[in-house]
Structures are given as C-alpha cells and as structure tokens.
Amino acid sequence: MLTTFQHYGNLIAAPIARLAGVPLVIANQVSLAESVPAPVRVADRLMGRIGFYDHIVVNSAVTEAAYTAYPPAYARRVTRIDHGFHDKSSAVEKIEARRALGLPWDAELLGCAARLHAAKQLDLAIRLLPLNERQHLVLAGQGAERANLEALARELNVFDRVHFSGELDERRMGLFLAALDCFVFPSATESFGLAPVEAAQAGVPVVANNIEVLNDVLSVDGEPCALFIDARDTEVFAAAVRRALDDAEVNAALTNNGRRLAARYPLDKMVDDYLRLIQPVTA
C-alpha cells in the first residue's frame, strides 16, 4: 500500500507504485483544483480516470465538491476524510508563554501559523499594525515570502512589531497559541484550514478571511467559531480584530464554540477512516 500526498506527490509516486506492483494507491488532494497548475490538473484527471489511484482522499466538504465534479471515473474514487488533530491547548499562562518564546509580554499580540507564501496573504495581517500602535504580530512558519513580508513591515514602519518565529514543534505551537490574544488568518485559498481550527480549539478568538471552506470548517452545529471578513479591507479586518478582543460577548462565543471543534474533528476518526481504506490489503 502507498499513500501519496499533494498534487506533485500524486503524479510522481502513483505511476512508480503501479510499475512496482503496489496493490493499493491512495492519493491525497489537499489543494483546491483551482490552485493547482493547469498541466498538473490535466494529468491528475487522466490518472484518476484510468486507475492510477484506487482512492482519492479529500479533507473537507468544499474540496469534496470540487473533485466529485470531475468525470465519473475519477469522482467515484473520491473519499472524504476530514482532518483530525491533537488539541494544542496549553495550561501555560499567557505571560509565561510569551517569555518562553521571546515575545513582548505587555502588547496586544496577534498571530498566524502558516507557510510564508503569497497565497496566505500574510501581508494583509501586517497592514493591520499601523492602525493600532499597541499591537504586535507573530508569524509561525517559514517560506519564500519572508523577505517580502520583512520589506513591507519596514515600509510601514512596523518592523519592530513583526516577529518571525519559524517552524514550531507541537509543544512550542501550544506555547504560541497560549501567547496570543487573537489569531488572524487572511489566507486566500485553503482545502481545509487546520491552523485556525487548532487555534479556535485552543480558545484563541479567530478572525479569518471570508472564504467558503473556512466558513464550513470553522463552525460547530451551525455556530461560527470565527469572525469572517474580507481580509483585503484593512479597516474592516482591524475592526473585526478589535471586536474579537474587546466585545466580551463575542469573545466568549468564539472561545466556547471553538473549544467544541475537537469533537467535530477527532483524530481517532481520521485514523479509523484511513484504516478502512487499507483494510482490503491488510486483511
């Protein structure tokens, strides 16, 4: 059995697996089709239709809808398995968490965990800072956009209030979330959006870009776990952050709803769903 990951991994590994006689190939589509280069989409459609993949796993209702709209020979292989995740809540006090990560202890601290990539639109989070001199922003992740983000922070005279923490392991991610006052997520496209789900579950109020998949995954029983805005409108974005921070009723609702996300996305269910896919081979 072979599980491939991401569109390039699917295209490269699946043919090799078939040539090697691997009996079961499970592809994972964790990018929306619209964000995949056109030649890769064409090749993926063909490979899915003629049987290079036995199963094609998608991770949200929005992603499922996109790929089940493909030709029937492809769509019948699609299986939805929602992301499960470890609860990254931490019992560490906010000030202690900030000191452990070298972050300012007396500021309003906004944060985002994401790859530093243009599609994540982290520049829109930096543009919030000139509107409030007490706010700092910490970005957990790495990627090719770091130089551009640093340049923008210098241009806006907020470089001393933007903190790049790099990749964080699970323990330090717990500290990161414990340190925050608000998690901001301006990403333009997602197939699921695990980072804001983890933040909401950890009790951090979330303000997220108003895209379909985030509206879906950041909800429990029809109740939102985030404030949704057009992240390109800086004033609206900033006002939503202020509301998440200052409106006690909104803050409590976001926190209480977010805490329920672990029940919607249990890690054990994700594991069991994958085991069911591979059972014919392991039996």
Mean pLDDT for each 10-residue chunk of the chain (283 residues)?
90 93 93 86 94 94 92 96 91 95 95 96 98 96 97 98 94 95 96 96 97 96 97 98 97 97 94 88 54
d(CA 166, CA 115): 9
Per-residue confidence (pLDDT) for residue 282, from 0 to 100:
54
20-60 pLDDT, tens digit per residue, is 999 999 999 988 888 888 999 999 999 999 999 999 999 99
| Claim: this prediction has a pTM higher than 0.75 | yes
* 195-199: Cβ within 8 A, 24+ apart: 195/112, 195/113, 195/114, 196/226, 197/83, 197/85, 197/225, 197/261, 197/265, 198/85, 198/88, 198/113, 198/173, 199/111, 199/113, 199/258
d(CA 217, CA 198): 11
| Tokens encoding 274 | 């994958």
Q: Which domains does the chain have, with CATH numbers?
A: 2-84+266-282 (3.40.50.2000), 94-264 (3.40.50.2000)
d(CA 40, CA 115): 22
Side-chain half-sphere exposure of 32, counting CA atoms within 13 A? 19
Per-residue confidence (pLDDT) for residue 179, from 0 to 100:
98
Sorted by sequence, the CB contacts under 8 Å of residue 15 that are 6+ apart come out as 47, 52
